[in-house]
Chain A
């Protein structure tokens, strides 16, 4: 009996666990280690942040689901990996520290035959002084708890506007190297929608702050699609929406420090400026979850397994080539670690070879450009393919991973809510192919103009709602869950 150990139970870890268990049945063991007791459909945290949903609607307890699926679940965080084992324990293993209240801080080791790292990001609010809800002055929607807190702050701001006070609301990225601009974009337009609903939009100055070179970059270098007889860049599409909704923007900006009601930022041209705010939601930069790795002799080999940003190295090209030499082939296909073939990393946990947007530094040397997003649909797809590959290898059907899931050959659909309401809500619906631009196959725009599309409308809101219920249903491993695509 072989054991597949999965670290992390978010979108990618949970997807990998369910698919692997389905393939391996009871003949082998799939176990999951996650510090969180609940699964969270993170895209709907945006709606928690504007009071359209509550925490209970976007989360559920993992333990009963894993019990039903026959997957042992350890509520614990992994702290170290021993991919060669040790003198005392000759097989590969990880060290865990329990986070469940009944066994808090208790330590244990778990052996594995195959390991999937799906730990997601570490939220680095500490990279910008004053950033974040815990030790700073800004809100966040990265977790359901943060989103609830954001809504409470937003409600206070709305109350002030109702009393006639003018409010400065700033939403965007809280550091020069942030990713997930799409999430902040969704929150911005949901806030806009909510304050219109309360009849106080004229009391709010809404500002978007972003590390993108141009609006509509979304960490993917933007995209082109056909609209109104033209091939148009997403910059035009996005600036149009901002103008229509009366939102001003600060682009090419890296936030440097935040104080109560104001923050400082630097732009690519080296200028430094201040911006006041009454309510602000800014995303933090991400790094990998910190692990240590040791070889058989107990010597630290963390830098062999992980990139300096803490993400796990896989079958990508990490040679650090310049932008002009970037190729779709740089991106991983099997997510297998090149040193230890029984270790894989999926979702945000794998180290990308480089960003997708062109990197940029200010004249002062401060990096101000988005790091690559790898959440949602792509993370689910790569998790499924990795689970299938491991299942094939465990069952002896393959000696190496045969299924490939490169983001350079993968399409993605993204629904960005721009106001939650069944009859007058809207969302931006985007599809793109491929995720990683390929200027050899598509010399003009890097992506297929047939499959790269974007539009705004109520239909997008309905789909976002459908996806919410569809993915919650699927993640609960309810009947026929596997027929719902990633």
Chain B
């Protein structure tokens, strides 16, 4: 171990933080891992590990700020003192005494680094990224897979390529790293594509991946490959005939259109998810929604799975517009039993009418039994399931997300075991689980956050501003990640885990860098993750070159 300095005696050394005077010819930088030891009177050596979170240098012997000019002219002799502040991560044995001033401080390497960051205690672990020293930062798998904790929450401003990229990197590491893969072999993941058609190429190699980035994958113990086992789901083209065609532009091959049958919509009570925009709890609307759902479910209870349309009181309803019309025409039968005002029913019908355009092509009565089977989102077939919702109307987005999550949770509920795990990547949590208001989709997200740990549904949630997300969703996450943050946002209490120094740094983080906080470590660690090995947009897809193309 290299000695880099000694514990400073001119600032208080405390059991949880101390200053190190950096020796001549050495340096300590932010995020360096150090250790020192201090003797007890009985001869026991207490080893203290920590991470550098602040460094400073100053003149000694200068009295005024302007003395710097005198020193530069050679008029005033001054000394330079460098010091680094260390936040203690671990004390072994656990005797909380301050390191004594003057004790030598070493850079923690190898096993000492593992100890300092608790990696040695992690029985099952996954690579969470690279530290700034180029070495692996491990995450404790037991705090992710539900054994002792679950869920990841990622915060960061958009456009810095952090949230989704890191979520994908995590999935890649979880699925492909030998130490993690043995636990995730049968796991599945669902990710919603909300921006462009970015995630439709995860199974293609990235043409812009350089050798340096490949080496970073190597240091992580990963191969630089695209995702191997990917299913792509997209909404169908709106006004198509016959076979459903995916509405995606840049890629059609291998993309499966998804849709629900009207029958399933009625039987499984999915109507509420059309109203997932956070209605006030005081409103009567939920009552009216429940009444309509009950009516539709009762009417279609015994209808065979072979038909995708529904028969309502002898009338054959074959598309969503029909269904809405039916409800409008028979409002007294549908809502009669519920004590809701005419105005509330009007509001409900108005909204339903308004969503016909948005979801009419997703809720269909024209599917054959084979089609219904083929276009139902099934996440079990492939490891990674990308569900494209980027082109959908906002109302339809919420519907798809809400229904998919609800159905996944139901399936896990029925299955009753934690394994195999199901990872759900959901960006824009502030939209789906806002701090204020109630909605069916928020209920599902909360359900995942609170029961997901025991059900084996792991939420990798992301949002720009954690302060706008339901508190319980954020606090249930064992892993807290912060990319670049807005300055004002970083000051909020949701980011208390960052501590004062990381908070300030969070405002200047570069793409590909973020702070990771995990349960065992009292300080956040700066981690970096490599450039995606998979294409994240059409231009990045590495074409397999046709050897004849140049000849022709």
Q: Do A and B bind each other?
A: no
Name A's B-contacting residues (CB within 8 A).
none
Name B's A-contacting residues (CB within 8 A).
none
